[in-house]
Amino acid sequence: MPDKIKIAPSILSADFARLGEQVAEVTVAGADYIHIDVMDGHFVPPITIGPIVVEAVRRWTDVPLDVHLMIDNPERHIEQFAGAGADIITVHAEAANDLGELIESIKNLGVKAGVSINPATPIDAIENVLSSVDLVLAMTVNPGWAGQAFMEEVVDKIVQLRRIMDRRGFAAELEVDGGISPKTARRVVEAGGRVLVAGSAIFTKGKSVAETMAELRVSCGDVIL
């Protein structure tokens, strides 16, 4: 298994009153992406942040911004997020009217396009875009909140996704999001996940992000570092 594991701290668990500093801290600690969870109060119950915050985060880091849109009607907002400095825009298959067209519109904005599926959504729902996306995001919790328990039952789907992508030569990165901690990270990597999103495991009271990120990396063991 040749690729390096990437770590994408989710700022949803950061201290929003000192967001810039926390983004700078994870940058120094070696974050590969900054994961930004956008929620609209419709696709998922909470409301989090919009393009204005993406723009602010952009000023604190050169690390690629991985924007996870948990919103309805994503086609209405992708241009603003691209303009705000997103490097990767990921949309949910469950929220798209025409997924293929949406992925093309994201790419036409000059940013990378990702597609995400909820734990209950089958791979079939994204089959037609697997060859064209840059990133596939498998949710291992139902989206909406940080700090939920990792759903073991999704591991099989990650294995299947890895198999399909390798067999058919698709280059998309396989990212996994939800409940990832030093306890679950290794299973995700062994299943084929290559980008680990983590919120509550990275932004933890009483520990530095350098410490928590190092713990996460070590927990992947000698699988891939």
| Choices 46-54, 61-69, 106-114, 153-161 (CB under 5 A): range interacting with Zn ion | 61-69
| Choices 86-94, 123-131, 142-150, 160-168 (CB under 6 A): range interacting with ligand DX5 | 142-150
Which residue in 177, 181, 194, 219 binds Zn ion (CB under 5 A)? Answer: 177
Buried-state track 90-128, b at ≥16 Cβ within 10 A, e below 16: bbbbbbbeebeebbebbeeeebbbbbbbbeebeeebbee
Considering CB distances under 5 to 8 angstroms, the limit depending on partner class, which of Zn ion, ligand DX5, none binds residue 161? none
Buried-state track 152-181, b at ≥16 Cβ within 10 A, e below 16: eebbebbeebbeebeeeeeebbbbbbbbbb
Interface size with ligand DX5, residues (CB under 6 A): 21
Q: Is 217 exposed, middle or buried (0-12, 13-18, 19+ CB in 10 A)?
A: middle
Per CB under 5 A, 66 contacts Zn ion: no
Least distance (Å) from ligand DX5 to the CB of residue 203? 9
124 carries an active-site annotation: no
For ligand DX5, the closer CB: 78 or 141: 141
Tell me the per-residue interface mask from 82 to 101 with ligand DX5, x by CB under 6 A, - otherwise. --------------------
Catalytic residue among 37, 40, 66, 134: 37
Is the separation of the CB atoms in 209 and 170 below 8 Å? no
Per CB under 6 A, 143 contacts ligand DX5: yes
| Choices 7-15, 52-60, 107-115, 153-161 (CB under 6 A): range interacting with ligand DX5 | 7-15
Site for Zn ion in 69-88 (CB under 5 A): none
Which residue in 201, 213, 216, 220 binds ligand DX5 (CB under 6 A)? Answer: 201
- Token pair in block for residue 216: 């996460």
H helices of the chain, in order, are 19-28, 51-58, 78-84, 99-108, 155-167, 185-191, 209-219
Q: Are strands 135-139 and 173-177 parallel, antiparallel or unpaired?
A: parallel
32 carries an active-site annotation: no
